[in-house]
């Protein structure tokens, strides 16, 4: 794709997003669009680790829940939105730093297992420490904030607020990817030892990446509780971590737009599937297995490759190439 | 939130801790061997435990039966009826009812071993050496198994009663000890000894240790590492399912048990060190005691307390108490 075509595509997408509530009258669909955008922020945040740092976290729903619960509980205690949300972000940053300090004792599988365990701790607190978190009953968030006097109670106004945050996140990510810090993070992913030899502090780079990812995870967590006006231990469950990981890998890791496409696919699929059968977890599991087994490079590039392969296989049966066996993550 | 514990309560808690430790050892030893040997964090391990437990419950109850009325509400898509309601297929008894829980545990272990073996051989095998896809594949299957169990066994908890001869309590020092929990511990100890003999004293064990220490060299000296992988994977699955069944009268079986047990196995392995049986044994009993005493003294935080030793070990000794290679 040439640069000009790319800019044109982005401009069209932006125009469609900004005008979405106008041509999509039904507030049900506007709400789904808000969901997609807030999960896209979450997926973008996780992609910093999975895609650019090569660190797979299965505990990110824990950080998401830390932000959500902190804000919800502070709101319940009577603080106003600005204070509750700022405090929630600070708490999430602190939690990310703790996650990072512990999980970075290891890389690869070890990192994944430690983040999984840390995520389960958050779930355990949310579920079992009923006197603090109200256990399985969750915490209600009675009002949405009204920044500068603009109420976010209606579906379109909340959509615009989410879109604004989403665009901010996207711009930050674009800057981050092109920045020297982004380059050094990719360096630690590909050649950690060489980076060390070159004098980079690999540990610190990874640590900062986790905190950066934690920040946007926290922001998406806040959007989530305002969207649902409710938070429960389900938010911190392993399923939630797995879902957002699916968003990242289904769209294609280490790309700017992959996680957004992935978020759209997963949210739409979840809403469509839930309307017909109640077995979302089964479907989620099957999608995982199918993606891993047949299109490990991601749902979008994978479908294109499979379609091309099928087309070729029917045309030149004798010379049909086998699908690539390179199943690199 | 805090409550004092009397000596009598402490004794009962200790027995419970030992029983839970035994179950955790059965669950985690397979996880640890799979992780140590194949470098796969098998996120299906909790699912094997739960699936095994459910199969065991069914074996004790009616035997394993397939068929009956499927789709009681029919199947319709987009308002279009595809299958009428009450679609039935003949009932076939695959495995008849068994009277004894230990026999049920053996049969259930065998079934789950076969399931695990098939997944390993046909799907995991194709992803050798690729950590992320392996993790996601096992996670995907964990969700699938969880949902299938929910469909088949519904959301209600099941708790089989222990065998009649183990139902009472033994009296010693003026205290009563539930017999079945002692039996769980005894079975776990026997299996631990058997595993230790297998790993430390047999040719197979030598091959496993070689595989854990250095897979490429193990291959070079002619060990069929690939066959070993399948064997260990099946063994791990069988042990988890076995533990699920014999643990069912104690822990009961309910949806979500899988993802409650999986982190426990993770902690045990992080604590003990991957691929080390001794480490798994020590880790299991630490967690067993911490869980029961934590539950009694800080009920709200019991689950969180479990993770503290893991954090300490990670900070002080990332390879685990008895681990040799860093994970």
Q: In whole angstroms, how far apart are CA A260 and each of A6, A39, A312? A: 16, 8, 30
The pLDDT value recorded for residue B82 is 64
For residue A129, give how far its alpha carbon lies from the nearest alpha carbon of chain B (Å). Answer: 5
Q: How many residues does chain B have?
A: 327
User: Residue A326 — φ and ψ, nearest 5°?
Assistant: -75, 100
User: C-alpha B76: how far from its chain's center?
Assistant: 37
Q: Scanning every residue of chain A, which has its alpha carbon at the shortest distance from the alpha carbon of B259?
A: A238
Q: Which of B1, B39, B140 sits opposite A289 (nearest CB)?
A: B140
Q: In whole angstroms, how far apart are CA B91 and each of B63, B66, B70? A: 12, 6, 11
The pLDDT value recorded for residue A212 is 95
Break chain A into its structural domains and give their ranges.
Answer: 27-236
Q: Scanning every residue of chain A, which has its alpha carbon at the shortest distance from the alpha carbon of B144?
A: A282
Contact between A235 and A127 under an 8 Å Cβ cutoff? The reply is no
CA A101, CA A113: separation in Å to the nearest integer? 14
**Domains of chain B by start residue, with CATH:** 7-73+85-316 (1.10.3470)
The pLDDT value recorded for residue B153 is 86
CA B70, CA B68: separation in Å to the nearest integer? 6
CA A19, CA A15: separation in Å to the nearest integer? 6
Residue A237: Cβ within 10 Å count: 22
Q: Which of B132, B141, B307 sits opposite A56 (nearest CB)?
A: B132
Coil, helix or strand at residue A152: coil
A56·B135 Cβ contact <8 A: yes
Residues of B in contact with A121 (CB under 8 A): 303-304, 307
Q: In whole angstroms, how far apart are CA A231 and each of A39, A135, A144, A241, A305? A: 15, 10, 14, 15, 40
B208 secondary structure, DSSP code:
H
A110·B326 Cβ contact <8 A: yes
User: B4: pLDDT confidence band, cut at 50, 70 and 90?
Assistant: low
Residues of A in contact with B302 (CB under 8 A): 128
Q: Which of A120, A130, A276 sits opposite B300 (nearest CB)?
A: A130
B136·A292 Cβ contact <8 A: yes
Q: Which of A113, A132, A276 sits opposite B41 (nearest CB)?
A: A113
| Helix A109-128 × helix A60-76 angle, to 10° | 30
Q: Which of A112, A129, A293 sits opposite B300 (nearest CB)?
A: A129
CA A173, CA A45: separation in Å to the nearest integer? 8
Residues of B in contact with A125 (CB under 8 A): 301, 303-304
Residue B159: Cβ within 10 Å count: 13
Contact between A34 and A159 under an 8 Å Cβ cutoff? The reply is yes
Contact between B276 and B324 under an 8 Å Cβ cutoff? The reply is yes
Contact between B310 and B267 under an 8 Å Cβ cutoff? The reply is yes
B314·A130 Cβ contact <8 A: no
Query: B99 or A43, which is more confident?
Result: A43
Q: Scanning every residue of chain B, which has its alpha carbon at the shortest distance from the alpha carbon of A285?
A: B140
| Two structure tokens written together for A38 | 């807030």
| Helix B225-251 × helix B203-213 angle, to 10° | 100
Q: In whole angstroms, how far apart are CA B295 and each of A144, B244, B282, B290? A: 38, 21, 20, 8
For residue B326, give how far its alpha carbon lies from the nearest alpha carbon of chain A (Å). Answer: 8
The pLDDT value recorded for residue B83 is 65
Q: pLDDT tens across B15-46, in order?
A: 889 999 999 999 999 898 888 888 888 889 99
CA A302, CA A308: separation in Å to the nearest integer? 10
Residue B14: Cβ within 10 Å count: 15
- Please say if the pLDDT value at position B121 is more than 60: yes
Residue of A287, A296, A294, A293 whose CA lies nearest to A329: A296
CA A41, CA A219: separation in Å to the nearest integer? 8
Q: How many CA atoms lie within 13 A of B157 on its CB side?
A: 11
Test mutation, A58, A115, A124, chain B, max B CBs within 10 A: A124
The pLDDT value recorded for residue B325 is 54
Residue of A164, A173, A169, A214 whose CA lies nearest to A64: A214
For residue B129, give how far its alpha carbon lies from the nearest alpha carbon of chain A (Å). Answer: 10
CA A97, CA A91: separation in Å to the nearest integer? 10
Q: pLDDT tens across A220-260, in order?
A: 999 999 998 888 888 888 888 988 988 888 777 777 888 88
For residue A39, give how far its alpha carbon lies from the nearest alpha carbon of chain B (Å). Answer: 20
Residues of A in contact with B307 (CB under 8 A): 117-118, 120-121, 124
Query: B3 or A265, which is more confident?
Result: A265
> Where does A27-236 sit in CATH, by number?
1.10.3470.10
The pLDDT value recorded for residue A210 is 94
Cβ neighbors of B196 (< 8 A, separation 6 or more) are: B277
Let me know the angle formed at the C-alpha of A90 by A85 and A91, rounded to the nearest 5 degrees. 95
> String of b and e for A91-105 (b: at least 16 CB within 10 Å)?
bbbebbeebbebbbb
A116·B263 Cβ contact <8 A: yes
Instruction: Please measure the distance between the N-terminal and C-terminal CA atoms of chain A and give it in whole angstroms.
Output: 24
Residues of A in contact with B39 (CB under 8 A): 109
User: B235: pLDDT confidence band, cut at 50, 70 and 90?
Assistant: very high
CA A46, CA A51: separation in Å to the nearest integer? 8
Test mutation, B34, B36, B50, B147, chain A, max A CBs within 10 A: B147
- Establish, for the pair of chains A and B, how many residue pairs have beta carbons separated by less than 8 Å: 136
Element (DSSP H or E) covering residue A62: helix A60-76
Residue of B288, B5, B15, B4 whose CA lies nearest to B173: B15
Q: pLDDT tens across B244-258, in order?
A: 999 998 888 999 898
The pLDDT value recorded for residue A324 is 46
Show pLDDT as tens, one digit a residue, over chain A (329 residues).
567 887 888 888 888 887 777 777 788 888 888 999 999 999 999 999 988 888 889 889 999 999 999 999 998 888 888 888 999 999 999 999 999 998 888 877 778 888 888 898 898 888 888 788 887 788 888 777 777 777 777 888 888 889 999 999 999 999 998 999 999 999 888 888 888 888 888 899 999 999 999 999 999 999 999 998 888 888 888 888 988 988 888 777 777 888 888 898 888 888 887 777 677 778 888 887 887 777 766 666 677 777 778 888 777 654 444 444 444 44
Q: Of A13-27, B226-240, B287-301, give the range with the top mean pLDDT.
A: B226-240
Contact between A158 and A152 under an 8 Å Cβ cutoff? The reply is yes
Q: Scanning every residue of chain A, which has its alpha carbon at the shortest distance from the alpha carbon of B305?
A: A121
CA B302, CA B287: separation in Å to the nearest integer? 11
A281·B310 Cβ contact <8 A: no
Cβ neighbors of A230 (< 8 A, separation 6 or more) are: A138, A139, A140, A141
Q: pLDDT tens across B64-96, in order?
A: 777 666 666 666 655 666 666 666 677 777 777
User: C-alpha A4: how far from its chain's center?
Assistant: 29
B137·A110 Cβ contact <8 A: no
Q: What is the ipTM of this complex?
A: 0.77
The pLDDT value recorded for residue B70 is 62
For residue B176, give how far its alpha carbon lies from the nearest alpha carbon of chain A (Å). Answer: 30
For residue B71, give how far its alpha carbon lies from the nearest alpha carbon of chain A (Å). Answer: 12
pTM: 0.84
Test mutation, B73, B128, B136, B283, chain A, max A CBs within 10 A: B136
The pLDDT value recorded for residue B75 is 61
Q: Which of B123, B133, B300 sits opposite A128 (nearest CB)?
A: B300
A129·B130 Cβ contact <8 A: no
B143·A242 Cβ contact <8 A: yes
Residues of B in contact with A114 (CB under 8 A): 270, 314
B273 secondary structure, DSSP code:
-
CA A77, CA B269: separation in Å to the nearest integer? 40
B144·A282 Cβ contact <8 A: yes
For residue B242, give how far its alpha carbon lies from the nearest alpha carbon of chain A (Å). Answer: 24
Q: Which of B129-133, B200-204, B223-227 has the lowest mean pLDDT?
A: B129-133
For residue B201, give how far its alpha carbon lies from the nearest alpha carbon of chain A (Å). Answer: 29
A327 secondary structure, DSSP code:
-
B133·A117 Cβ contact <8 A: no
B304·A125 Cβ contact <8 A: yes
The pLDDT value recorded for residue B85 is 66
């Amino acid at each position: 794709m040439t640069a000009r075509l790319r800019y044109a595509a982005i401009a069209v997408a932006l125009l469609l997003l900004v005008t979405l509530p106008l041509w999509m009258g039904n507030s049900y669909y506007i709400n789904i669009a808000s969901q997609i955008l807030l999960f896209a922020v979450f997926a973008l945040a996780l992609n910093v680790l999975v895609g650019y740092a090569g660190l797979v976290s299965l505990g990110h729903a824990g950080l998401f829940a830390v932000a959500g619960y902190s804000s919800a509980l502070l709101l319940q205690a009577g603080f106003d939105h600005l204070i509750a949300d700022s405090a929630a972000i600070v708490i999430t940053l602190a939690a990310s730093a703790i996650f990072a300090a512990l999980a970075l004792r290891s890389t690869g599988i070890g990192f994944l297992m430690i983040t999984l365990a840390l995520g389960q701790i958050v779930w355990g607190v949310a579920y079992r420490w009923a006197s603090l978190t109200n256990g399985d009953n969750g915490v209600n968030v009675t009002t949405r904030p009204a920044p500068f006097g603009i109420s976010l109670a209606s579906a379109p106004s909340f959509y615009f607020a989410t879109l604004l945050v989403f665009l901010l996140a996207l711009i930050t990510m674009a800057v981050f990817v092109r920045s020297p810090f982004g380059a050094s993070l990719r360096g630690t992913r590909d050649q950690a030892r060489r980076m060390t030899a070159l004098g980079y502090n690999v540990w610190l780079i990874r640590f900062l990446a986790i905190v950066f990812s934690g920040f946007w995870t926290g922001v998406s967590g806040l959007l989530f509780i305002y969207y649902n006006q409710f938070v429960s231990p389900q938010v911190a469950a392993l399923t939630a971590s797995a879902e957002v990981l699916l968003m990242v890998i289904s769209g294609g890791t280490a790309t700017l737009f992959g996680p957004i496409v992935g978020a759209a696919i997963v949210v739409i699929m979840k809403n469509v599937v839930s309307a017909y059968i109640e077995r979302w977890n089964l479907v989620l599991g099957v999608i995982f297995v199918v993606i891993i087994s047949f299109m490990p490079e991601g749902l979008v590039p994978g479908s294109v490759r499979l379609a091309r392969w099928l087309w070729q296989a029917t045309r030149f049966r004798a010379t049909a190439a086998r699908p690539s066996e390179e199943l690199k993550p | 939130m805090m409550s004092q514990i009397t000596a009598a309560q402490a004794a009962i808690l200790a027995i419970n801790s030992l029983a839970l430790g035994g179950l955790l050892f059965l669950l985690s030893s397979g996880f640890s061997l799979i992780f140590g040997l194949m470098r796969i964090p098998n996120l299906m391990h909790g699912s094997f435990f739960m699936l095994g437990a459910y199969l065991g419950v069914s074996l004790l109850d009616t035997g394993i039966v397939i068929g009956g009325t499927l789709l009681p509400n029919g199947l319709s898509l987009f308002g279009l009826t595809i299958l009428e309601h009450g679609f039935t297929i003949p009932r076939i008894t695959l495995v008849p009812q068994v009277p004894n829980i230990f026999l049920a545990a053996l049969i259930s272990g065998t079934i789950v071993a076969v399931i695990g073996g098939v997944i390993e051989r046909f799907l995991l095998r194709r992803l050798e050496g690729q950590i992320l896809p392996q993790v996601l594949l096992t996670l995907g299957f964990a969700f699938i198994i969880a949902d299938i169990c929910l469909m088949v066994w519904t959301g209600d908890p099941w708790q089989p009663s222990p065998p009649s001869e183990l139902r009472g309590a033994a009296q010693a020092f003026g205290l009563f000890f539930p017999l079945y929990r002692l039996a769980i511990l005894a079975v776990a100890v026997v299996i631990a000894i058997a595993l230790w003999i297998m790993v430390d004293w047999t040719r197979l064990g030598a091959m496993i240790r070689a595989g854990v220490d250095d897979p490429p060299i193990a291959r070079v000296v002619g060990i069929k590492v690939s066959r070993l992988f399948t064997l260990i994977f099946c063994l791990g699955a069988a042990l988890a399912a076995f533990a699920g069944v014999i643990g069912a009268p104690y822990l009961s079986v309910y949806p979500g048990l899988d993802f409650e047990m999986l982190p426990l196995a993770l902690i045990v392995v992080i604590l003990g060190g991957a691929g080390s049986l001794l480490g798994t044994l020590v880790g299991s009993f630490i967690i067993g005691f911490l869980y029961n005493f934590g539950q009694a003294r800080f009920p709200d935080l019991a689950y969180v307390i479990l993770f503290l030793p893991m954090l300490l070990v990670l900070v002080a000794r990332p390879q685990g108490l008895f681990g040799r290679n860093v994970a």
